[in-house]
Chains A and B, each alone.
Chain A
Amino acid sequence: SQTIHQWPATLVQPVGSPLSLECTVEGTSNPNLYWYRQAAGRGLQLLFYSVGIGQISSEVPQNLSASRPQDRQFILSSKKLLLSDSGFYLCAWSSDSNQPQHFGDGTRLSIL
């Protein structure tokens, strides 16, 4: 069966520091991969999605970037974090764009 892993589960970072969140999927090939942010008390905002290695689509302009160096690995990065980057970051995968997305357990990011 397919599984999705995100780490770390919790992260506290100072303003201006870099960020790297990792997401990996097991048990499937060539998945669509997604990064979402969930601000406190709000719904989910799609940040990036990828349909293949090296293919990244950005949904909103921001301080973050994403990369897909391997088929089942999706990385969310920032060179310099802002206070507004705080939130709950969720990675998801789907077998194709018309199938349901399946979510990881998320990373709680706090910026100090």
Chain B
Amino acid sequence: AQSVTQPDIHITVSEGASLELRCNYSYGATPYLFWYVQSPGQGLQLLLKYFSGDTLVQGIKGFEAEFKRSQSSFNLRKPSVHWSDAAEYFCAVKAAGNKLTFGGGTRVLVKP
């Protein structure tokens, strides 16, 4: 069965600094990969997705992610963080069937 690991539970970053969130997955083939963001008390919003093709994908709000097959990773990045980026971020993997498997999430705190 597929699994997703987000090694960092919390990350604190200064406003204007770069951000990278790690995601590692376990699956035998190339999965469909997603990043979602969740503000407190809200649902999840899709940031970006990877299905195939170019391994660097662009998403909304200035985020991008890079799929690295050799490392089974799909890390999320943003060059310059804004205070509004403070939220929880979830990586998710879609393998066979209907199931989307989520990582445990990384909470991002932004310092002024």
Contacts and interface: CB of A to CB of B under 8 A. Distances in A.
A108 B99 contact: no
Interface stretch (B21-29, B38-46, B61-69, B70-78): B38-46
Interface residues of B, number: 21
Interface string A75-102: 0000000000000001010000110111
Interface in B92-107: 94, 97-100, 102-105
A43 B42 contact: no
A92 to B, nearest CB: 8
B90 A43 contact: yes
B46 A100 contact: yes
The A contact surface, by secondary structure, is strand
Given A46-B99, A49-B98, A102 B90 contact: no
A59 B32 CA distance: 20
Contacts of A32: 98
14 contacts: A34-B100, A43-B90, A43-B102, A43-B103, A44-B102, A49-B98, A59-B99, A97-B97, A97-B98, A102-B46, A103-B36, A103-B43, A106-B41, A106-B42
Interface of B: 32, 34, 36, 41-46, 49, 51, 90, 94, 97-100, 102-105
